[in-house]
Amino acid sequence: MKKHYDVIIVGAGPAGIFAALEMVYADKGLKILLIEKGKNIDKRICPTKDEKVSCRTCPVCNLLCGWGGAGAFSDGKLNLSKDIGGNLSRYMDDTTLQELITYTDEIYQRYGAPADTYGTDTGRVNELRDLAAKNGLVLIPSQIRHIGTDRCPGLLKRIQADLDSKVDIAFSKDVTTVLVEDEKVIGVETKDGSVIYGDFVILAPGREGSLWLEEQARSMGLSLLKNPVDIGVRVEIPAAVFEPLTSVIYEPKLIFNSKKFNDRVRTFCVNPYGEIVREYVKGVWTVNGHSYSDRKTLNTNFAILVSTNFTEPFDEPHLYGRYIARLANLLGNGIILQRLGDLQEGRRSTHARIARGRVKPTLKNAVPGDLSFVLPYRYIMNILEMIRAIDKIAPGMNSRHTLLYGVEVKFYSRQLTLDNHLETEIKNLFTVGDGAGVSRGLIQASVSGVIAAREILNRVN
């Protein structure tokens, strides 16, 4: 007997989960399958906590795949501004997008996101924006709701409890092929050879599945857009240095145009009183940061990223990003750590110099080294310029004790040509979330799932 569903959702990250929620809320009696190659959240345990286990032994990464996607173990920041966290403004007007963000945020609160937000004091925000402007920086104001890395799993479990009896959820099931007939989607095929038919398919593979989605798009003859890659370092400083900013706008978004190369440089993912973590993405170790609601360190961390675009004939920026990350892994056996003062003086950091520093690293297994052997001169100059600019609004930033971890690489997914409902050039096939390149964070990923679900509900009606 053929397995047939009204809607098949591939990927149980925020985009896929919110697509399912929206259709369940509509109560139209649709038969929905939510299929995920990872595990349920309670079983998502990373074996590398045992230092003897290699990340390469896991065929599916428990940190990136499974219920909740990569966002399950993120610091859970909900950016409530339409200007931050994705590309959905390409597909709708500002008013509609902001309404959808508000709607999605209310759902998060329903399942346990805290009521308080940062960035609501307009007067203080404007003062910081003016101060930034006077020092060559652009501050993008944003209201942020912070769930916290520790609270994300509980919130996701509550959502799953609501969906369990109304949606079929299949874990550890890897979709290999999207099935198309006469330019219309008809279902999916999984790694074990199972064929599952569906009238509508929503692809929400997350960043970890972005290369798979790109391969599927090419095989179906879909149009692909160019995508950039952002490369840089994660900075760790005493929390007090950034407190004047983070106490007002939890995650200050700063943009800078370097003088020497006129490149766009920006801060990303600020974690007040947080810790540095490492990630295994696309076969390489990169660095990231977390922050928690129930415990604090003495440090704040954030990324400084340089946006990289390439001209013809090279058209694979993610390969360049992976090359840089692999080089860091080669020289540092994982993540490289360097004091800012050592980088400025042209010498590598050592365990002794790190130990004498005033900022104690929160990532204990980072290896002291020299980032100038990894990052091209252009990147180093851009990063140092921005650090000097930030020091003018946050004195202490340009300290020789500031720690730099490398490298941080953001592999933005290859975007497909989509209509305003996020439907591809294949009828009834939708792509949503970070893996489809339409979002870069929890809120806009969730919103994208809602957009696709609403269009499917309209057609069913």
What integer pLDDT is reported at residue 48 of this predicted model? 66
How much is the average pLDDT of 101-121? 95
Q: Measured between alpha carbons, how far is 235 from 246 in angstroms, rounded to an integer?
A: 15
Give me the pLDDT at residue 229, please. Answer: 81
The answer to whether the beta carbons of residues 191 and 53 sit under 8 Å apart is no
Q: Which helix (H) or strand (E) holds 304?
A: strand 299-308
Per-residue confidence (pLDDT) for residue 91, from 0 to 100:
95
Mean pLDDT of 152-169: 95
Question: In sequence order, which residues have a C-beta less than 8 Å from that of residue 2 and are 6 or more positions away?
Answer: 195, 197
Give mean pLDDT, residues 429-447. Answer: 93
Q: What is the pLDDT of residue 438?
A: 92
- Pair of tokens at residue 128: 């910081």
Beta strands 253-257 and 264-271 are antiparallel
- 3-state SS assignment for residue 147: coil
Comparing CA positions, the residue from 33, 34, 64 lying closest to residue 46 is 64
Predicted confidence (pLDDT) per residue in 360-387, tens digit: 999 999 999 999 999 999 999 999 999 9
Angle between helices 122-134 and 239-249 in degrees, nearest 10: 130
Per the model's pLDDT, the better-predicted residue between 413 and 417 turns out to be 417
pLDDT of residue 60: 80
pLDDT higher than 80, residue 417: yes
Put simply, whether the predicted model's pTM sits higher than 0.85 gets the answer yes
pLDDT at 414 over 70: yes
Q: What mean pLDDT do residues 343-364 have? A: 96
H/E run at residue 198: strand 195-203
Phi, psi for 419 (deg, rounded to 5): -90, -170
Q: Which CATH number fits domain 3-112+147-224+414-460: 3.50.50.60, 3.40.630.30, 3.40.50.2300, 3.40.640.10?
A: 3.50.50.60
The single residue listed with the structure tokens 């052997």 is 373
SS3 per-residue string spanning 109-139? HHCCCCCCCECCCHHHHHHHHHHHHHCCEEE
Kindly report the average pLDDT of the chain as a whole number.
92
Where do the CATH 3.50.50.60 domains begin and end in the chain?
3-112+147-224+414-460
Which residues, 6+ apart, have CB-to-CB distance to 15 below 8 Å? Answer: 69, 204, 206, 432, 433, 434, 435, 436, 439, 445, 446, 448, 449
Q: For 161-203, what is each residue's pLDDT tens digit?
A: 999 999 999 999 999 999 999 999 999 999 999 999 999 999 9
Q: What DSSP string runs through 328-348?
A: HHHHHSS-EEEEHHHHHTT--
Q: How many whole angstroms separate alpha carbon 156 and alpha carbon 152?
A: 6
Distance CA 276, CA 459 (A): 46
Give the pLDDT mean for 205-213: 88
Distances (CA, A) of 359 to 288, 299, 332, 396, 404: 18, 8, 20, 11, 11
Residue 295: band (very low, low, confident or very high) from pLDDT cuts 50, 70, 90: confident
pLDDT the model gives residue 54: 61
Q: Answer whether 435's CB lies under 8 Å from 65's CB.
A: no
User: Does residue 51 surpass a pLDDT of 60?
Assistant: no
Alpha-carbon gap, residue 71 to 206, rounded angstroms: 9
